[in-house]
Structure formats: structure tokens, C-alpha cells
Amino acid sequence: MQQRGPRHLGMDRNLFYVCIALSVSGVLMVYSGSAIVAVKQDNAPYHYALRQAVWVFLGFIALFIAYKIDYHTLAKLSLPGLIISLILLVLVLFVNEGKEVKRWIELGPFDLQPSEIAKLTLLLYLSSILAKGKEVKKITQDSIVKHIKTELFPFLGILALVCGLILLEKDMDTTIMLGLTSLIVYFVAGSDIVHTLGAILTSLLTAISMGVAMISEGYRMERIRTFIDFWRSDRITDPYSSGFQFRQILVAIASGGLFGVGFGESRQKYHYLGDTAFTDTIFAIFAEEFGLFGCVILVLLFLFVFLKGYRIAMKSSDRLGFLLAVSITTWLSLQAVLHIGANVALIPINGNTLPFLSYGGSSTIINLTAIGILLNISKGVSTTEENKELIPFTRRDRTQLQKFRKRR
């Protein structure tokens, strides 16, 4: 019987079309949320929407490039990419020396945000090194030491370095999101007892680090206290100071009702929510304008991306594809959950933007590049002699992912 060669599948068009829908919705919502801000700055009402449209256009170019280049090649480039990201993360601290928030490098009409680039390069690098690990069949002192040296220490070291630099930018929200995503990727990367112990140790270190970072800044604790007081007393303490944004978000959500007040008719986007109306609180503006019905549709679109991403991971032809798909899907989904959760008062206020919808050049281009990699993995290759040795890893990882999803 003649041996068949690799069978390449086409692009996952459903995922691609959903990302187009989300991106177009983002441009429209940026216009709605930013028009008043643009006019106050003596710009045209569509100033920010036009810029967002340009970022979306460039993002889809990046998506097609990432789709065309084999993800194994991208993984090999992850180390140089990570080094460049680290240089940018250090550079942004010096460029913004003396400023309270140090997140952007001004490049004329474009503000580069190194932490967005670091999200993708870090997860590419961590997935590539974890994909090389092997299951420990026999627990011995040598196997434990080897795992610590070859997997755990490199993982913790690079994660601590990247998250530490991002934390110095006063970007706690990205730090939390990136730390949790990396922890989940490490957890699903192995099922042996040594790897499980490593995951527990990593979780403890992450929790301690996040706790220290929380109490180190007064405004972070203030947000948490405002959130806790709201759920305890059913009212917002100090609604004109520390609880002002929290209150205005809730007003926007409640004003939307079932079908919303209509596109462009939001009232909270005026000085109440200000320039966050098209970034950190864009979901609240969306809820006000399109109501519960529109929010359900939007959440379902994000749920589709989540389920499709994990389905791609489960069907990936090798361990690297599995871990990359898990990392990208977890990152985008978790960021969406943190943004929406904060905008509906399920978690404290945070600065996470909503993927594909919130305004931002770096985030838009990087998010769509990540989707390009996911679409790359989804093309798939059928089992042949050249990749049979990868199947044991894939089966083991799929079982681990199924266990993780059940726990969720």
C-alpha cells in the first residue's frame, strides 16, 4: 500500500471570520467611545477610529505572515524575539524615567508598548522549551534535579525577569495575566509527579509575588477595598473619588437594559469615563449601547475563540503546536475575562484591555499575529513516519488538558 504524504488542511475560516467581526466591531466601538475625546483634543471625531483601522489593517497583514510561516520556524526565532523584547522592556524604563507610568515608547504617530510584544515572544519561548521536555517515568533524585535544571529553573527565571520588568512599568494587570497564562501552560505541559510538584511550587511563588506587588501600591489596595465594600454593603464607598470609575461603569451597564440605548448614544463616554471609554472600559460602553442582547452575542464570539483555540490544541499534530495553541488561547481568553469581569463588577477594576475591541496599535497587531499562529497550527499535518514519535506526547498532553478543563 502506498504511503501517503502529509495532508495539509486549509485555514480555519470560522475562526478567521470571527476575528474579522471582532476587529470591525472594535473600530466602530473605538469611534463611538473616542469621538468626544478626539474633538476635545481639536482632532476630527474619527481620529482614533481611523488610527485603529490602520492598526487592524497592519494586524491582518501580520496575521497572514504568521499563518504562512511554519510555527516550528517561529518557535526557533522565539529566543531572539524574546531578547529584543527584554531590551525594549529595559529601554522603556529609561525613556520614561521620572514618569509614574512607563509603558510606551513614543515613535512619532505610533506609541510602541513593549509589554504587548513580550506577551507573544515569552509564550512562544516558554512553549518551545517546555515542548522539549520528557515525561519522568521513574522518580529518582537525578530525575528531579534534571527536571529542575532543564525545565523548572529556565521557566521560572525567564518568567520572573519578564514579569519583573513589566511590573516596574506600573503594569500589574499585564503581569497577572501573563503570569497566570504561563502557569497554566506549564501545568498542562506534563502529567508526571515531578512536573506536578513543580506546578505547585510555581503556583505558590506566583501567589506570594502577586500578593507582595498588590500591597506595595496604595491605589491597588484601594481598588480591592472598594470592590469588597461594594459586595459587602451593596453600595460604593466614596463614589466621587476612589469609587468614581467603578460607579460609572455600573451606571453604563445598567443603562443599557435589554437592547441598549443605540450605537453612539452612550452617555457615560462623556466626562464620566473619559479616555478609558475606548480602552479599559470599552465593554461598559458596548453594554450601554447594545444592552444585554448585544453583550451575549459578544461574549459568545469570545467563547467561540476559546473553544476553537482549545480544539485546535487537542487536534495539533505535535507537542509544540499543542502548547502554542494552549498558550495563545489562554492568553486572549483570560485577558477578555479579566476585562469583562472588571466591567461587570465581578472582579476589582483593572487595566486589561479587551482583545480586538480596545484601542491600541501594539495590542491589535500582536493579538492578530497570535491568531495567525493559531490558524497556522490549525492547518495540521496528518500522521506520517516523520512525526510518529510525537504522538505519545500529544496523547499525554491531551489527557492533561482534559483534566484541566474538568477542574475549571
Report pLDDT digits (tens) over 244-300: 888 889 999 999 999 999 999 999 988 788 888 999 999 999 999 999 999 999 999
3-state secondary structure of 170: coil
pLDDT in tens, 65-83: 999 999 999 999 999 999 9
Q: Look at residue 235 and tell me whether its pLDDT is greater than 50.
A: yes
Dist. CA 287–CA 224, nearest whole Å: 23
Evaluate if residue 309 carries a pLDDT over 90: yes
Of the pLDDT bands very low, low, confident and very high (cuts 50, 70, 90), residue 408 is very low
**Would you state the pLDDT for residue 218?**
66
Which residues have C-beta within 8 Å of that of residue 353, sequence separation ≥ 6? 279, 280, 282, 335, 339, 359, 360, 363
Phi, psi of 348 (to 5 degrees): -60, 155
What confidence tens digit (pLDDT) does each residue in 137-173 have? Answer: 666 667 677 777 777 888 888 998 999 999 888 888 8
Q: What angle do CA 43, 45, 46 make, to 5 degrees?
A: 100
Residues paired with 106 in a beta bridge: 111
The reported pLDDT for the residue numbered 341 is: 93
Ranges of beta strands (E only) in 159-297 are none
What residue type is 5 in one-letter code? Answer: G
Tally of CA atoms within 13 A in the half-sphere of 232 that contains its CB: 7
Residue type, 150: T
Q: What is the pLDDT of residue 403?
A: 53
With a cut of 70, say whether residue 377 has pLDDT above it. yes
Quote the CA–CA distance of 209 and 204 in Å, as a whole number. 9
| Average pLDDT, integer, range 106-124 | 89
pLDDT given for residue 401 in this prediction: 54
For residue 3, the 8-state DSSP code is P
Amino acid at 67: Y
pTM of the model: 0.86
Spacing of C-alpha 354 from chain mean position: 9
